Amino acid sequence: MGVVMKRPTPAVSQPATLAEIARAAGVSAPTVSKVLNGRADVAPATRTRVEELLRRHGYRRRRAEASRSPLIDLVFHELESAWALEVIRGVENVARDQGLSVVLSESAGRPTPGRTWADQVAARRPHGVVLVLSGLGESHRALLTSRSIPFVVMDPAGDPGDDVPSVGATNWQGGLAATRYLVYLGHRRIGVISGPSQMMCSRARLDGYRAALETAGLPVDASLIRAGDFHHEAGHRAGLELLRLPNRPSAVFAGNDLQALGLYEAARELGLRIPEDLSVVGFDDLPVARWAGPPLTTVRQPLTEMAEAAARLVLDLGRGERPPTVTQVEVATSLVVRSSCCRWDAENFTEAGGV
């Protein structure tokens, strides 16, 4: 197998055995086992060499289900997300039904010296991993694959790749529905506060917004499109910019609920009433959307159900019950109409223009 060491290409037709990996790495089989089990007592250089060989050979551990811990890992990029709790609940629901417990980690932030979250996951041998991440690196993916630990990416904000099992929402459809609703109410100047452009979900929502305007024969005015980062402060800042325009929008699709609340604050500061002077639509339908004043009309993304779907999918994959062709799931979004939007006609605008 030494020959493989000289070939940098990842494709090797025949999966290698553990003994072959050990030989190629010039180490003993127990050392390869230690690496697979995430043990700390392996020299870093050895670990790197073994991991690289596992990856190149597409090694997959053959492990009986019984040797797995009764755990399911849930990995967030960071726990700051306002909707983390909805996701945790969903995974917890499925885990409890299956007699499993949920282990929570963050992939960002201070890592434990010398060990990544992926090493820790590998050492725990969970039934599966649900990743709430903007992207899954090639090395982490290889690490989980070599341990035969199934994984599913939830709400792929990045672009997980066609071959990564994932659960997302119909973001484009949601952006379309939000904007069409505002068009239906008579709005013609409709602003948008988008999320970060590197996140596929915010691109999709923005494209849905554009599609709604274009199919209604309305112009897409670049001055009404602002970029945010899905946080409250961005909604406030971009909201002030939009509402101070000489020809300000009468309605704004806020990209998500937190940005909508930031926009609420901007409107309050400028003495604009919601919905009389400004209609607002959010995205997510976090609990806080119901509690806003006035209650926020928003596109519901069923986060708990999506997390449940991701957890069920990863357990199915672990049992080999799901053919790989149906591992990309998109859960439907729906518009929840509350009190933050109203009809708009020329008179409104003249009246409100004087504020």
Contacts to a second copy by CB under 8 A: 70-71, 79, 82, 84-85, 88-89, 92, 96-97, 99, 101-106, 109-112, 115, 120, 123-124, 232, 258, 261-262, 264-265, 268, 287-288, 290-295
Give 346: exposed, middle or buried? Use CB within 10 Å, 0-12, 13-18, 19+. exposed
Q: CB-wise, 58 or 111, nearer to a second copy? A: 111
Q: CB-wise, 91 or 317, nearer to a second copy? A: 91
Count the helix, strand and coil residues of the chain and give each as a percent rounded to the nearest 5: 45, 15, 40
Q: Report, in Å, the least distance between residue 213 CB and a second copy.
A: 29
**8-state DSSP, 340:** S
Is 304 within 8 Å of 86 (Cβ atoms)?
Answer: yes
Q: Report, in Å, the least distance between residue 35 CB and a second copy.
A: 17
Cβ neighbours of residue 198 closer than 8 Å, sequence gap 6 or more: 134, 158
Q: Report, in Å, the least distance between residue 124 CB and a second copy.
A: 7
Q: CB-wise, 44 or 99, nearer to a second copy? A: 99
Q: Report, in Å, the least distance between residue 256 CB and a second copy.
A: 13
Q: CB-wise, 21 or 280, nearer to a second copy? A: 280
Q: Report, in Å, the least distance between residue 313 CB and a second copy.
A: 20
Other CB atoms within a 10 A radius of the CB of residue 138 amount to 11
Q: CB-wise, 20 or 92, nearer to a second copy? A: 92
Q: CB-wise, 38 or 156, nearer to a second copy? A: 38
Pairing of strands 328-331, 166-169: parallel
Return the structure tokens found at 172. Answer: 């484009």
Q: Report, in Å, the least distance between residue 54 CB and a second copy.
A: 23
Q: CB-wise, 88 or 182, nearer to a second copy? A: 88
Is 74 within 8 Å of 106 (Cβ atoms)?
Answer: no
- Computed over its alpha carbons, how large is the radius of gyration of the chain? 24
Provide the Cα torsion 184, 211, 306, 66; round to 10°.
160
Q: Report, in Å, the least distance between residue 328 CB and a second copy.
A: 27
- What three-state secondary structure class fits 172? helix
Q: Report, in Å, the least distance between residue 112 CB and a second copy.
A: 4
The span from the CA of 44 to the CA of 48, in Å, is: 6
Q: CB-wise, 25 or 143, nearer to a second copy? A: 143
Question: For helices 232-243 and 257-269, what crossing angle results, to 10°?
Answer: 50
Q: Report, in Å, the least distance between residue 219 CB and a second copy.
A: 32
Helices (H) and strands (E) in the chain, counts: 14, 12
The span from the CA of 16 to the CA of 217, in Å, is: 59
Q: CB-wise, 211 or 288, nearer to a second copy? A: 288
Return the structure tokens found at 67. Answer: 């040797």
